Amino acid sequence: MKKTFLLLATAILSLSAMAKTETNEPIEITRAFEEARKIEKNIKQTSFPARVYNIMDFGAKPDTPEKPCHEAINLAIIRCNQEGGGTVLIPKGTFYTGPITLKSNVNLHIEKDAVLKFDTDQNLYFPPVLTRWEGVDCYNARPLIYAYGETNIAITGKGVMDAQGDADHWWYMAAGRYKLNNGKRTQADGGRKRMLALAERGASVDERIFTPDDAMRPQFVNLYHCTQVLIEDVTFLNSPFWTLHPLMCESLIVRGVTIENDGPNGDGCDPESCKNVLIENCIFNTGDDCIAIKSGRNNDGRKWNIPSENIIVRGCTMKNGHGGVVIGSEISGGYKGLYVEDCYMDSPNLDRVIRIKTSTCRGGTIEDIFVRNIKVGVCREAVLRINLKYESREECERGYIPTVRNVWMNNVTSNGSKYGVLLIGLDDSENIYDINVSNCQFNGVTHAGENITGLTRNINIKDCTVKMAKKKK
């Protein structure tokens, strides 16, 4: 293992060192972000005719929780699609709805001061549709907003979409701390275990059909095999499960959204096997990973072999969550090309800033990760964590050796964490290598600037400062 770590005096930081932190960027990172600008130019933009379809013209009425208006909304979407596209408008007021299905050339626009509340009766979200759940192909509950194979679609507006998840609705199905003592079924009663077992033995997707009794919560937004997608400005609250789940999509922009979701598995945005993605100027406050990049779990990920690639993240704010920007764990199809810059992360309940998690169940290659200009208040564990032993007790076929390589992190400043860099490699192979951390300041560190276990090679940590936290008397 080759590594270099320059530890400067904690009490005094020279002006020259500070200048280096601000200006000295490796040429590899500069070139990478030049490439990111080329990728961004290749993202196809959405465009819609000027026609507007107000849902109230199709029978939707505000303030009627006893009569959800999803039939009216879906009728407006179908009409808009059939007439060549346009905007389906959710006007000011509070509207109650069930599942919504997007169609090509439709912009679902929720106006400022409009609130769309989704009914929590899971029977409304059946019969099931084709989706993925934790990286496994299956037929499960219809996502609250769903699209399959559509082109030029959008969800926009300054309004609020509320899935109404809480301990009594949706979240209890995850069991754990949310489990209710009222006899209602949860995923721990067998649904999730059965899904994973079916996938491990290679059962056809047609055998993987789940019902309300399986208690497998739906995603808030699941866009499957779609192109030219825009999600902009909307506030999403209290998702049953993952909030935004683009799956096998290309040319995707997520811009200016706010996600508040403290529920279990409450990820913010999970692009899975997606290509050419921009996520910018968003706010994430989540019960799980803020942004989590995926490419399928175990056999299903290897079968499709569709990596996620070319994802740009910039100008985002991350608060609570297991990780700020995460790759994995369902990453069997691999990943290439992540560009993260100009983000701010801060919360004692944010576990890691940049996190890569995988295992010998997953396999796959994760490479070309570029991170620069990140300001971190505090995080619970590590600024950079790479772990090849994630979920070591998972019941799965092992022997698929993952690789993480060519990771670059420059000009990251943190003010509180256990570690600066935490690497957990395998015991018998050097599959974490070419890791480069430079010009970073890790302040308020309680354990160590670096902690590296397992086999690694070419780990370069240089021109960084570590300031240990003062021990409490």
Catalytic site residues? 288, 322
Q: Which phi and psi angles does 20 have, rounded to 5°?
A: -60, -40
Q: Confirm if 299 and 199 have CB atoms less than 8 A apart.
A: yes
Six token digits for residue 406: 């060519």
CA angle 245, 239, 212 (to 5 degrees): 90
| Interacting residues of 175 by C-beta distance below 8 A, sequence separation 6+ | 186, 187, 188
Q: Which phi and psi angles does 142 have, rounded to 5°?
A: -60, 125
Q: Confirm if 287 and 317 have CB atoms less than 8 A apart.
A: no
| Interacting residues of 452 by C-beta distance below 8 A, sequence separation 6+ | 1, 3, 421, 422, 423, 425, 459
Closest Cα to residue 142, out of 106, 98, 205, 186? Answer: 98
Burial of 451 (0-12, 13-18, 19+ CB in 10 A): middle
CA angle 453, 457, 461 (to 5 degrees): 80
Residue type (1 letter), 264? P
